[in-house]
Amino acid sequence: MLFFCSYAYLCSLKNDKVLSMSIELQLKNKVLEAIQQMYGQSVDSENIQIQKTRKDFDGDFTLVVFPLLRISKKPPEQTATEIGEYLKKNIDDISEFNVIKGFLNLTLNTCFWISFLNSVGQKKDFGYITDKEKPNTVLVEYSSPNTNKPLHLGHIRNNLLGYSVAKIIASQGDNVFKVNLVNDRGIHICKSMLAWQKWGDGITPQKAGKKGDHLVGDYYVKFDQEYKKQIEELIKQGLSEDDAKKNAPLILEAQEMLRKWEAKDSETIALWKEMNHWVLEGFDVTYKNMGIDFDRVYFESDTYKLGKEIVLEGIEKDVFIKREDGSVWVDLTDEGLDQKLLLRADGTSVYITQDIGTAHQRFADFNADELIYVVGNEQNYHFQVLKLIMNKLGYNFAEYLFHLSYGMVELPEGKMKSREGTVVDADDLMDEMIRTAEEMSRELGKLDEYSESEKAQINRTIGLGALKYFILKVDPKKNMTFDPKESIDFNGNTGPFIQYTYARIQSVIKKAQLRNKLIPADVQTNTTTTAKELQLIKQIYSFPEVLFDASETLSPAVVANYIYDLAKDYNQFYHELPILNEENENISMFRLFLSQQIGRIIQSGMNLLGIDVPERM
RNA sequence: GGUCUAGUAGCUCAGUUGGAUAGAGCAACAGCCUUCUAAGCUGUGGGUCACAGGUUCGAAUCCUGUCUAGAUCACCA
């Protein structure tokens, strides 16, 4: 290598994991040093703000000098200039600087950036942390469906979030286990069982030619319809609405069925097993289609009694209160909440009782350090209470329970309502997305020369990519609207746009091979570059930080938006500058290499979102 | 009523330890394919960052209050 710069030098000395952040650190230390030298004072390092220079200004990193004026006792411009001169003199990688108001913009030399790019090329999983000193064991519990109806759009958000967050956390060096807690018991399950028994006439998924979850869902709806009729009838007979709801024969029968189930009545259990089996088979198809999976599946029918003993122990510890009627409560009024029931007067468990038990069991089963629940924001209160209770019980893992609370997916006219048939079914939506991808491909004539199976594969990748990206690009905690009439876009800030960019890069790489151009393992650090190319390298530089941030905030949206920006900027580069057609061989190789690295990052980032990228489209 | 979350362009969304002139996409309009994939690129228009105060060199961002929307406060899950 002709040129020599400190980044390459440092790389040869140390493991470069640390270095990804190190230039900022180096700058920060030098600024501290400069202030000490020039103004004879030491500052809190918090006051040294190094940030990336905004696109519309010249420079790579910016020091905000306003907080330092107190010490320099000089105007902003002068302070910035003095520090700039010091840094330029003392850091080899700084090639120039400029000052605008109180902002000191520092530019690193091209050699630094190209050396960095070379180091990215050598790394297997750039941005991943592979050698964390003390990896945590993290459980991500997500999906957690009820086995009485098929999955809908809300579950899609849950599943995609859980799957992606698990991957993102794993990328930062922790051991992650994905767990599913299937809610396969309770009154709602009995409702569809009862309706099937009454009106199903022995129908099965095979006979009906229908997925099991959909078939069972039909009977859940049927129950509701018939139940409503009975309520109306009773109201006509003069009952109040409340009484009618409580005394309708159907609900009484369902309750009786639940009692039989709990008493392990063999007939009831047999029916329950059969129908649950249908549903779970259906879910497996949906999960597989969606491309998500679990390391371990729990069933509520196994776990619903857990927690009772812990609650009873809690009474002895005086953490909980037992009332005269025998019910057990926790008093959270000091924490600004209410009293909460933990065991019914008849000694049976409620929902939160079970969660106390399963939390305990999860930590024990996996020797876990953290437990993340991916659950909708309608249960914020529940998890707040759960955490407080675990805390009161003295579990030190209480502070490592996290509720990844995501917002509801709403339709333009409001919430989805299964009773009103406005639910967007997960299977239907995925199918529709794939169909739309097929139509687009056909219209654009993109896949004409490929075989049917190749076409199907690519359209699937694109259709699901559009859906997944559409959902994951939104900050999890925010509610989002989905308009079924305006189908999900394939242009602009979308999954297919990013996939297209990836396919484009692969196409260039393939063409390079055809022209016998070999992509080098690294490129010359003295290559002439444009601002656009340097900007792309700087964006690559941010990737590790983005993953770290996404992992900390449990937000795939951070990754999604980053990848979009990267793809957008790459497309500009692609349009402005020739790669293979560039006459200067060094430059051509550099651009090819840069393209390859960006392709890798797009793939890596999309992978963390659970989205595949096609080699062509 | 208490608690929590959100409110940014017509629509969907970015903007995260407070920093420079608040950004994308969609939709609308005008351009760019004999050259590496036009699912792309370029340009135009579009804003009282819900509102009012406060904190300070500086606020979409932090604090207080108000308004709006949603969630939740069950011997349901």
User: DSSP letter string over A14-45?
Assistant: S-TTTHHHHHHHHHHHHHHHHHHHHHS----G
Can you tell me the distance from the alpha carbon of A592 to that of A595, in angstroms, rounded to the nearest whole number? 5
What distances in angstroms separate CA A349 from CA A290, A309, A311, A327, A395, one per listed residue? Answer: 34, 10, 10, 10, 20
Residues 203-262 on chain A lying near strand B, CB distance under 7 A: none
The integer distance in angstroms from the CA atom of A332 to the C1' atom of B8 is 37
pLDDT of residue A481: 85
How many other C-beta atoms are found inside a 10 Å radius of the C-beta of residue A306? 19
Q: Residue A47 CB closer than 7 angstroms to strand B? A: no
pLDDT of residue A2: 38
Q: How far apart (Å, rounded) are the C-alpha atoms in residues A128 and A567?
A: 20
| Percent of chain A residues past pLDDT 90, beyond the cut | 74
The whole-number Å distance from A578's CA to B35's C1' is: 9
The CA–CA distances, whole Å, from A470 to A116, A203, A289, A561 equal 32, 37, 17, 11
Band (pLDDT 50/70/90 cuts) for residue A43 is: confident
Q: CB < 7 Å to strand B — which of 270-289 in chain A?
A: none
- Provide mean pLDDT across the span A554-583: 96
Strand B nucleotides, any atom under 7 Å to a protein CB:
2-7, 11-17, 19-21, 24-27, 35-42, 57-58, 70-77
Q: How far apart are CA A403 and CA A376, in angstroms?
A: 9
Q: How far apart are CA A279 and CA A301, in angstroms?
A: 15
Residue A47 or residue A148, greater confidence: A148
Q: Does residue A352 carry a pLDDT above 70?
A: yes
Which residue places its CA closest to the C1' of nucleotide B33?
A575
H-type helices in A40-175, by residue range? 69-72, 76-90, 110-122, 153-171
Give the HSE-up count for residue A113: Cα atoms under 13 Å, Cβ half-sphere.
27
Task: Considering all nucleic acid strands, name the nucleotide whose C1' atom is nearest to the C-alpha of residue A101.
Answer: B20
Please say if the pLDDT value at position A10 is more than 50.
Answer: no
CA to C1' distance (Å), from A532 to B32: 20
Rounded to an integer, the average pLDDT of A428-438 is 94
Give the percent of chain A with pLDDT over 70: 96
Distance from residue A541 (CA) to nucleotide B41 (C1'), in Å? Answer: 25
Q: Which nucleotide minimizes the distance between its C1' and the CA of A506?
A: B37
Give yes or no for a contact between A341 and A332, defined as CB atoms under 8 angstroms apart.
no
- What rounded mean pLDDT belongs to chain A? 91
Q: What is the mean pLDDT of residues A503-520?
A: 95
Is the per-residue pLDDT at A390 higher than 50?
Answer: yes
| A473/B13 CA-to-C1' distance in Å | 8
Residue A185, classified by CB atoms within 10 Å of its CB into exposed (0-12), middle (13-18) or buried (19+), is buried
Is the CB of A341 less than 7 A from some atom of nucleic acid strand B? yes
Residue A474 CA distance to nucleotide B12 C1' (Å): 10
Q: Where do the DSSP E strands lie in A468-567?
A: 480-481
What's the confidence (pLDDT) of residue A428? 94
> Which nucleotide is nearest, taking the CA of residue A550 and each C1'?
B16
SS3 A83: helix
Q: Name the nt closest to A560 by C-alpha to C1'.
A: B14
Surface-to-core class of residue A485, CB atoms within 10 Å of its CB (0-12 exposed, 13-18 middle, 19+ buried) = exposed
**Which segments within A522-564 are labelled E, that is strand?**
none
Q: What one-letter code names the amino acid at A225?
A: Q
Could you tell me the pLDDT band of residue A399, with boundaries at 50, 70 and 90? confident
Q: What is the pLDDT of residue A70?
A: 85
| Whole-angstrom distance, CA of residue A127 vs CA of residue A46 | 26
Does the CB of A378 sit below 7 A from strand B?
yes
Residue tagged 């597989």 (tokens): A288
Strand B and A504 CB separated by under 7 Å: yes
For chain A residues 439-458, those near strand B by a CB cutoff of 7 A are 440-441, 444, 446-447, 458
Cα angle A378-A379-A380, degrees, rounded to a multiple of 5: 100
CA A223 / C1′ B41 distance in Å: 56
Chain centroid to Cα A101, Å, comes to: 39
A507 touches strand B (CB under 7 A): yes
Average pLDDT over residues A339-349: 89
Q: Are A397 and A355 in contact (CB under 8 A)?
A: no
pLDDT at A12: 36
Q: What is the CA A312 to C1' B29 distance in angstroms?
A: 71
List all residues 6 or more positions away from A294 whose beta carbon is below 8 Å from its beta carbon.
Answer: A143, A178, A179, A180
CA to C1' distance (Å), from A67 to B52: 30
The answer to whether strand B lies under 7 Å from the CB of residue A408 is: yes
What are A271-321's pLDDT values in tens digits?
999 999 999 999 999 999 999 999 999 999 999 888 999 999 999 988 999
Those residues whose C-beta lies under 8 Å from the C-beta of residue A418, and which sit 6 or more positions away, are: A149, A152, A220, A221
* Residue range A83-109, pLDDT digits in tens: 999 999 999 999 999 999 889 999 999
pLDDT per residue over A247-276, tens digit each?
Answer: 899 999 999 999 999 999 999 999 999 999
Residue A11 has pLDDT above 80, yes or no: no
Q: Which residues contact A37 (CB under 8 A, 6 or more apart)?
A: A86
Read off the tokens for A98: 């400029």
- Nearest to residue A373, comparing CAs of A143, A169, A185? A143
Q: Which of residues 78-107 of A touch strand B (CB under 7 A)?
A: 100-103, 105
Average pLDDT over residues A176-187: 94
pLDDT level of residue A5 (50, 70, 90 thresholds): low
Chain A 356-375 residues in 7 Å CB range of strand B: none
Question: What's the N-to-C CA distance of chain A in angstroms?
Answer: 38
- Separation of CA A46 and C1' B17 in angstroms? 10
Contact partners, residue A548, CB within 8 Å, separation at least 6: A172
Q: What's the CA gap between A532 and A554, in Å, rounded?
A: 31
The nucleotide lying nearest A58 (C-alpha to C1') is B20
Q: Do A249 and A195 form a contact (C-beta atoms < 8 A)?
A: no
Angle at A152 between CA A146 and CA A157, to 5 degrees: 100
A511 touches strand B (CB under 7 A): yes
Q: In the structure encoding, which two tokens stand for residue A456, read together? A: 């199907």
